[in-house]
Structure 1
Amino acid sequence: MILGRTVLYLFLLVIALTCLIPFYSMIMTSTHANSDIARRLLVVPGDQFLVNYERLIDTVHIWRGFANSIIISVVSTAIGLYFAALGGYGFAKYNFKHKNILFVAVLGTMMIPGQLGIIGFYKLMDTFNMLNTYWPLILPSISSAFGIFFLRQIADSSVPTEIMESGRIDGYGELRIFHRLVIPLMIPGIATLGILNFIGSWNEFLTPMIILFDNQLQTLPVMIASVKSQFTSDFGAQYVGVVISTIPILIVFSIMSKKVISEIAAGAVKG
């Protein structure tokens, strides 16, 4: 028993260390000069982090891009979670004509790569005069096929029909039932989807690069990719930008994962 547990812990430790290697390499690389980065694998810290950071802020408005990405990611994640929860709950708990056909149609959109529609999306945004604004980066989050599919499963397993019936007996409308009774039961699933949505929105590169023309409106990934030293990429400055860009992801992941764990633990105790 003790031997098996020890082997399991060692295995998990190896997996955890393996997952941390890219982060460690990224941080170590950001502290070295371009010549060192191009020449060898770097495993010890250097003394060029501040120099790389100064070149980064001299080349692009990195903190403006940071703020732009925060605004877009937070708003699109919040909107996406609300409508995904609403759609998933509706598909899980309501019966209406052609429900299954409609749900299959929603899932079918997941098979179409988003890049295939980028030209049509660009023309549509041009027709609505939304180019060079944040709306094309926020509004598509309303219709997340994966979010609806994921939260439908959560609603199926965690929202008893009796809860809805008790709300109706108390005189609640359908939206009030959803806001007051259903959403609290779906919090673990919503938090999990929130992590995925935020990371996806934060790392989005192609759409902002095509939709946004003004450098002051650009998101952080686009700004980092545009950092150059004369005719080549400035890898030292880019790595510093990547280190900065991982901070919000780590914060969101730590907050949301704690929420997921606490809610699951509370449910296990109640059960």
Structure 2
Amino acid sequence: MKNDKLIAKRQRMLIYIFFGILTFLSIIPFWIVLANGTRSSEQIQQGISLFAGSNLKYNWDVLMNKGFDIFGGYTNSFIIASLSTILTLYFSSLTAYGLTAYKFKGKTFMFSMIMFLILIPPQVSMVGFYQFMSKLGLLNSYIPLILPAIAAPSTVFFMKQYLETVYQKEIADSARMDGAGELKIFHTIILPLLKPGLATMGIFSFVASWNNFLMPLVLINEQDKYTLPMLMQLLKTDTYRTEYGSMYLGISLSIVPLLMIYLLLSRYIIGGVSAGGVKG
């Protein structure tokens, strides 16, 4: 018995060490970027360091002189990411509820089409989408970056898988007998059941929209409407001197919100993915 406990303790210790190493390897690249944002170009060229420097104010001044409107970028990125995330979660949940709760002709075909759309890279339709938005006069607008979030095949798939683990037909039938309409059932019963899944996909959707660079670059030309990833292209090198410190500082400012989201809401990601991956 003692030997079994000792072996189990050693196994747990090895697991903790292994995951500790993985955690360190995952954090160290971000830490290096943050540290380099406070160092001078000369210090950065000398090699990697995990310690912060004393060049933060100078890097900040250089960054501002390059036209890096950090507050405007935060605002623009937040507007696009938050609105697109809300639309994605609501309409994907509504679609998942329809595919889970109702039986209708063509249901299997519709779900198969959703699965097929997941496999299509968004870059394939980029040229056609740009031409369509140009004809509608929606270039240099956030609308083409927000409204398409209504159709999110991967989110629909995840929410359907998750809903199948928590949905109980009897509860919905009882609500119908009490006179509740379908939308009321969805808003008062289904959405509360989907909270862990909504939190999980909300984080993924927000981060994906926040990091989106190619589509805003194609659709937006006015600098005051640039998102944070677009502002990163303004951190170009000078003719005689490359300010690596300011470049790293700009990158750090763009990833800090995402790091905070993951640190604060990581438990929702783990819980939601675990529940969505198990059917009972």
* TM-score above 0.5: yes
Contact 2:41 2:242 in 1 (8 A): no
Change (3 A) 1:263 1:80: closer
Q: Deviations over 1:34-71 (max 9, x none)?
A: 23334422333221122111111221212111111011
Report 1:223-234 matches (<5 A). 223-231=231-239, 234=243
Q: Deviations over 1:80-123 (max 9, x none)?
A: 11111111111111111111111111111111111121111111
Alignment partners' CA distance in 2, 1:222 and 1:39: 29
Partner of 1:176: 184
Change (3 A) 1:24 1:157: same
Partner of 1:267: none
Change (3 A) 1:108 1:262: closer
Contact 2:200 2:272 in 1 (8 A): no
Q: Aligned-residue CA RMSD in angstroms?
A: 2.1
Out of 63, 83, 103, which is 2:91 matched to? 83
Deviates more, 1:59-68 or 1:177-186: 59-68
Deviates more, 1:227-236 or 1:133-142: 227-236
Change (3 A) 1:139 1:178: same
AA partner of residue 244 (structure 1):
L
Change (3 A) 1:161 1:115: same
Out of 61, 68, 74, which is 1:66 matched to? 74
Alignment partners' CA distance in 2, 1:136 and 1:215: 17
Counterpart check, 1:36 vs 2:52:
no
Counterpart check, 1:149 vs 2:154:
no
Contact 1:29 1:239 in 2 (8 A): yes
Alignment partners' CA distance in 1, 2:211 and 2:81: 9
Contact 2:77 2:227 in 1 (8 A): yes
Alignment partners' CA distance in 2, 1:170 and 1:252: 40
Out of 251, 260, 271, which is 1:242 matched to? 251
Partner of 1:117: 125
Out of 3, 6, 11, which is 2:13 matched to? 6
Alignment partners' CA distance in 2, 1:185 and 1:250: 27
Alignment partners' CA distance in 1, 2:266 and 2:12: 25
For structure 1, the 5+ residue unaligned runs are 265-271
Change (3 A) 1:261 1:114: closer
How many pairs align? 265
Alignment partners' CA distance in 2, 1:35 and 1:225: 22
Contact 1:188 1:263 in 2 (8 A): yes
Deviation (angstroms), 1:262: 8.2
Deviation (angstroms), 1:203: 0.3
Alignment partners' CA distance in 1, 2:32 and 2:269: 29
AA partner of residue 241 (structure 1):
G
Partner of 1:130: 138
Partner of 1:47: 54
Change (3 A) 1:173 1:233: farther
Identity of aligned residues (%): 33
